[in-house]
Amino acid sequence: DTFTPINRNAFPAAKAAVDCVLTATDGLLAGRRTAYALVRPPGHHAERRSFGGFCYFSNAAIGAQQLSRRGKVAILDIDYHHGNGQQDIFYDRNDVLTVSLHGDPSFAYPYFTGFEDEAGVGDGAGYNLNFPLPEQLDGPGYLVALEHAIKRIREFRPDYLVVALGLDPAKGDPTGTWSLGPRDFEANGRAIGRLDLPTLVVQEGGYRTRTLGASAKGFFRGLLGS
């Protein structure tokens, strides 16, 4: 698509993002409890056979694939937009649970995926969970949906968690419509941290530069319990 050009810098940048994720994954496999891959370009819209939405390689899915060699993995995508890349890649598998909270595709990119009835196929039936959310949403409303997602992750009993961290749910983000603030990101991080799992955090969206730092700081303060 027109959001995702191919030029001489695209592949080196996308490969560097994957390398960063693999380094973070190695840290978890070596015993670390948390690792953060702060990358650009993002990856959660890249599928098996296509790319788009600023994404070239599915960074979070690549990390999850590495971790899945050592146990079950849950991917929790908390970007404003649907994590169609992870869904596509793991749609027929039951060792990787894919969960996405996002703006309803009736108004939000990528428009054609992210509906509730997309639950997986074959061995993966029931292992893909979508939470399409309304156009106007505040922090407390988001947290209600997040707790439902976390409940499903607990039931799955994964060995590892991959968080596709979007900061575009923040108030004023040019690609979103929600109104989360730093304290809301902190509450979300705290809720996720209570899962008490080895956690790989992979950076996805977030485009309002004035609030990115505060949103990220809030999330990690909650996640790490600091």
Q: Cα–Cα distance between 118 and 22 in angstroms, integer? A: 29
Q: Cα–Cα distance between 170 and 34 in angstroms, integer? A: 23
| Structural domains counted in the chain | 1
Catalytic residue among 44, 45, 82, 102: 45
Are 208 and 172 spatial neighbours (Cβ–Cβ below 8 Å)?
Answer: yes
Torsion of Cα atoms, 213 then 152 then 102 then 60, to 10°? 60
pLDDT tens for the chain, 226 residues: list them.
888 989 999 999 999 999 999 999 999 999 999 999 999 999 999 999 999 999 999 999 999 999 999 999 999 999 999 999 999 999 999 999 999 999 999 999 999 999 999 999 999 999 999 999 999 999 999 999 999 999 999 999 999 999 999 999 999 999 999 999 999 999 999 999 999 999 999 999 999 999 999 999 999 999 999 6
- Whether 93 is in a domain gets the answer yes
- In total, the chain counts a number of residues equal to 226
pLDDT at 176 (0 to 100): 97
- Whether 66 is in a domain gets the answer yes
Q: Which residues contact 123 (CB under 8 A, 6 or more apart)?
A: 92, 93, 94
AA letter at 142: Y
- Whether 200 is in a domain gets the answer yes
- Whether 105 is in a domain gets the answer yes
- Whether 4 is in a domain gets the answer no
Closest Cα partner for 20 from 50, 54, 59? 59
Q: Cα–Cα distance between 99 and 82 in angstroms, integer? A: 10
AA letter at 21: V
- Whether 67 is in a domain gets the answer yes
Peptide bond into 5 cis (omega under 30): no
Domain of 82: which CATH number? 3.40.800.20
Q: Cα–Cα distance between 133 and 141 in angstroms, integer? A: 9
pLDDT at 1 (0 to 100): 80
pLDDT at 3 (0 to 100): 81
Are 200 and 63 spatial neighbours (Cβ–Cβ below 8 Å)?
Answer: yes
For this structure, is 45 an active site residue?
yes
User: Which range marks the domain in which residue 46 is found?
Assistant: 10-224
Are 179 and 138 spatial neighbours (Cβ–Cβ below 8 Å)?
Answer: yes
pLDDT at 226 (0 to 100): 65
- Whether 97 is in a domain gets the answer yes
- Whether 1 is in a domain gets the answer no
> Does the predicted TM-score (pTM) go above 0.85?
yes
